[in-house]
Amino acid sequence: MPDQPITLTLTVPPELVEQLAQRITQLLREQPRDPAEAGPWLDVDGACAYLGFSRDRLYKLTAARAIPCRKKAGGQGLYFHRDELDAWMEAAYPRLDRLG
């Protein structure tokens, strides 16, 4: 039997739609609009997004002490400073064009 598209109709109460809209608005207001407003420090997820790396790749680099990062003494969680990541990228990934 060939795959047939399934049509689903869902009725959502207006109160639920309003609650969702209010929650989305609240979450958007809590997020910094400009990455510079977020401050210079990034957690692992922020550093992955900033560098375009997977978590696995970033963790391998930190384990090898190949990328600048900070960890609270005796604590959990890694933090990365944007300026240090920028400098590391410049050194680790030199430009290949003639402008560099």
Give the SS3 label for residue 20.
helix
Whether 43 is in a domain gets the answer yes
Rounded to two decimals, the pTM is 0.60
Domain span at 61: 37-92
**β-sheet bridge partners, residue 77:** none
pLDDT digits (tens, 9 = 90+) for 5-32: 889 898 989 899 889 888 888 887 777 6
Task: Decide: helix, strand or coil at residue 39.
Answer: coil
The C-alpha atoms of residue 57 and residue 33 are separated, in whole angstroms, by: 28
3-state secondary structure of 51: helix
Each residue of 63-90: pLDDT tens digit?
999 999 999 888 888 999 999 999 999 9
| Residue 41 in domain | yes
- Residue 88 in 3-state DSSP? helix
pLDDT of residue 98: 75
Distance (Å, whole) CA 38 – CA 42 = 9
Number of domains in the chain: 1
Asked, for residue 74, whether it belongs to a domain, the answer is yes
